Amino acid sequence: METVGLLSDLPSESRAMRTVLAAAYLAAESESTILLTGDSGSGKDYLARYIHDHSRRSSGPFYSINCASIPAELAESELFGHEAGAFTGATKRKRGLLELAEGGTILLNEIGELSQSLQAKLLAFLDTRTFTRVGGEKDVAVNVRLIAATNRNLAEEISAGRFRQDLFYRLDVFSIGLPPLRERLDDLPGLVNEFIDKLAPSLGYTGGVFLDPRVMDTLRQYAWPGNIRELRNVLERALIVSRGGPIRNEHIRVTEPQLLGQAIPMTFSPDRPLPEVIAELERSWIEEALQRAGGNKTEAAKLLGISRFALARHMEKWGISSSMVE
């Protein structure tokens, strides 16, 4: 089966992600329930949409609900709907997302957040493909494909009594695990270009955005604990700060205090006084900043959070020249 052409609409230079997308294409051909697992922000909702768009249901609706963001008392109504008078404020019948997704696909994101009572009702729906609205008496039958996603370890949730084992078995028909961004760094250029192409026009920048090549080196050295969602946010901020102009390292801000490769190994020694240790750390930090800035003192000073004049004094103090680190 040839899948390369169908995979080309998602950035997939890494072997790990191409394996995932090949599995997603197989899943799209079937009508089975799918379980997507992976770290928060790794793109589970994106993959669910990909599966829908390449399935026989692509002409039907696609709905997504984040089970973690809906109050427990409203979750059942959002998913299954309610009848008029079912509770205070329910003045008329409301169709739930399962009903609205008739003929299409529904994504239940962060399904590990569902209450035990809703887990039981969802299990009954998967067994019968029917449900009753809140306050209702008649069964409602729907033809919908269900995709579940979670960043939790459901095996651990089952052991802790927070997730039903029988529901897990019904969901885990076709399971796909998404790798974190740090394990698919070959996809970074494609993801960066895609996000910039989409974000720039929405922010009013239509003339094309230039990315300093050194920025990609910086992005590759970061651990990305927030995965693709964090990358998008970092790039959106960079576009705003740069005003749509060339994006440089000083426009990139990440929340993790250390970039990969930036840690400085130090071992306690009673023979070394504290001032000597601090001096070594200071010099190493300055050299690291200069290397990341390609010897540009202005950029290095911004990375360190000090003035260019202060950086010059530190460089003179330690005998560091920008030519030594370019």
Q: What is the pLDDT, as a whole number, of residue 294?
A: 67
Residue 141 lies in a domain: yes
pLDDT in tens, 258-317: 444 445 555 556 666 777 777 778 888 888 777 777 677 777 777 777 777 778 888 888
Same domain, 170 and 28: yes
Residue 263 lies in a domain: no
Residue 268 lies in a domain: no
Domain count, the chain: 3
Integer Cα distance of 152 and 110 in angstroms: 8
Same domain, 41 and 12: yes
**Enclosing domain of residue 298:** 274-324
Same domain, 17 and 149: yes
Q: What is the pLDDT, as a whole number, of residue 322?
A: 58
Same domain, 84 and 149: yes
Residue 259 lies in a domain: no
Q: Are 106 and 97 in contact (CB under 8 A)?
A: yes
Task: Report DSSP state, residue 178.
Answer: P
Which of 33-47, 87-101, 246-260 is the least confident region?
246-260
Q: Are 85 and 77 in contact (CB under 8 A)?
A: no
Same domain, 188 and 312: no
Domain holding 281: CATH number? 1.10.10.60
Same domain, 170 and 209: no
Task: Say yes or no to pLDDT of 218 above 60.
Answer: yes
Crossing angle of helices 297-304 and 274-292, in 10° steps, is 130
Query: Greater confidence, 31 or 321?
Result: 31
pTM over 0.85: no
Count each helix (H run) and each strand (E run) in the chain, helices first.
14, 9
Residue 261 lies in a domain: no
Same domain, 289 and 175: no
Burial of 26 (0-12, 13-18, 19+ CB in 10 A): middle
Domain holding 225: CATH number? 1.10.8.60
Same domain, 140 and 79: yes
The average pLDDT across 146-152 equals 94
Integer Cα distance of 84 and 90 in angstroms: 5
CA dihedral for 13, 15, 21, 22, sign (positive or negative) = positive
Q: Which two tokens stand for residue 159?
A: 């052991």
